[in-house]
Amino acid sequence: MSLVADWYSPRPSLVAVALRPLALLFGAAVALRRALYRGGLLRSVALRVPVVIVGNITVGGSGKTPLVAALVRALARRGFHPGVVSRGYGRDRGDDAPIAVGAADDPRKVGDEPLLLARAGCPVVVARDRVAAGFELLARNPGCDVILADDGLQHYRLARTVEIAVVDATRALGNGWLLPAGPLREPATRLDEVDAVVMLASGGHSAQPPRARAFSMTLRAGDFARVGDAGTIAPPSSFAGEGVHAVAGIGDPARFFAQLQAMGIRAVTHAFPDHHRFTAADLAFAGARSILMTEKDAVKCEAFADERCWYLPVQAQIDDALVALIEERIRGSQAA
């Protein structure tokens, strides 16, 4: 059993219990770092526009990037001109100078998730230092009036106007322990401090928010699109029968595989680590009639994908009350 599986096991595993002393040390380091920022010994940097952080307190995917994309669209409809900053996990670091992401960029250079956001038409800049990314984005886009940070809840150097924490309703907080004994980057009590908690529901069912200022989010799938040719689409029924394989290099591959099963697709599944760099060898499945993947994985397979490769686009469905809350905080900060 992998360490991640141990984190989400219904019973504490021997490995997780053995790692508790390290988790206590990690927790002490987290608490000290927060105290240094609160005490002013470490300083946060404010940008000239409001900043909305979309992050989580657990390791791995919980739907942050689809939520950012949905908020970009929603805020644009309300008259804002949003931009996005991101670390760009999984990319080549180089000197880590801020990089403005273009729709045709190599995901190895800019990261898979930032590339998806850029292709949606949003200005995106990546850098390990999100403050530097923010300054670069504003320099390139003077009309930008709000920045969304895709991940970065723990990047306290970047001052924020709104904090949103995303929680996968299915996996929740796992065993509730801090790294490395559990999946938590920060204690569960951190959720009481954010402006909103967004619960990612699965299977079309709404999650029951666990606290005040909590909202539900679902991911709505469209038809499949051919990798490298988004104009060619096919309904789920096209992938009924034998010879279908599915790959996923995301935080929770089981969620994608379960989604396919709910569509009536009985695929041979292949899970990879989050942000995995796919190669042609990863898709060399003998006798495969179709190979299905997420859109996040598809951007890394375009260079070698053939006509058997398809991806499933999804869009986050969010509560209008969440957008209203964000707008209220943004406009309040601008008036202050």
Asked whether 100 and 140 are in contact (CB, 8 A), the reply is: yes
Domain for residue 44, yes or no?
yes
Helix or strand (DSSP H, E) at 167: strand 162-168
Same-domain status, 232 and 302: yes
Same-domain status, 208 and 229: no
Token couple for 197: 């908690």
Total domains, the chain:
2
Residue 205, pLDDT score: 47
Q: What is the DSSP letter of 191?
A: G
Residue 96, pLDDT score: 81
Asked whether 71 and 261 are in contact (CB, 8 A), the reply is: no
d(CA 334, CA 79): 14
Same-domain status, 149 and 177: yes
Same-domain status, 293 and 159: no
pLDDT in tens, the chain (336 residues): 488 888 998 888 899 999 999 999 999 999 999 999 999 999 999 999 999 999 999 998 788 999 999 999 999 999 999 999 999 887 877 668 999 999 999 999 999 999 999 999 999 999 999 999 999 999 999 999 999 999 989 999 999 999 999 999 988 999 999 999 999 999 999 999 999 999 998 754 444 545 558 999 999 999 999 999 999 999 999 999 999 999 999 988 999 999 999 999 999 999 999 999 999 999 999 999 999 999 999 999 999 999 999 999 999 999 999 999 999 999 988 766
Q: Give the number of residues written for the chain.
A: 336
Let me know how many helices (H) and strands (E) the chain has, helices first.
10, 15
Residue 93, pLDDT score: 72
Same-domain status, 156 and 302: no
User: How confident is the model over 85-104, as pLDDT tens digits?
Assistant: 999 887 877 668 999 999 99
The residue type of 132 is A
Same-domain status, 25 and 62: yes
Whole-prediction pTM: 0.93
Domain for residue 103, yes or no?
no
Same-domain status, 213 and 275: no
Same-domain status, 66 and 176: yes
Domain for residue 176, yes or no?
yes
The SS3 call for residue 15 is: helix
Residue 202, pLDDT score: 72
Give me the domain span that covers residue 277: 223-312
Domain for residue 1, yes or no?
no
Whole-number average pLDDT of the chain = 93
Domain for residue 113, yes or no?
no
Same-domain status, 257 and 214: no
Alpha helices in the chain (DSSP H): 3-7, 14-18, 20-38, 64-77, 107-110, 112-119, 130-140, 253-262, 295-298, 320-335
Domain for residue 9, yes or no?
no
Same-domain status, 231 and 276: yes
Residue 95, pLDDT score: 67
Same-domain status, 306 and 165: no
Domain for residue 136, yes or no?
no
Same-domain status, 61 and 170: yes
Counting Cα atoms < 13 Å in the Cβ hemisphere of 8 gives 15
Residue 204, pLDDT score: 47
End-to-end CA separation in angstroms for the chain: 52
d(CA 83, CA 80): 10
Domain for residue 131, yes or no?
no
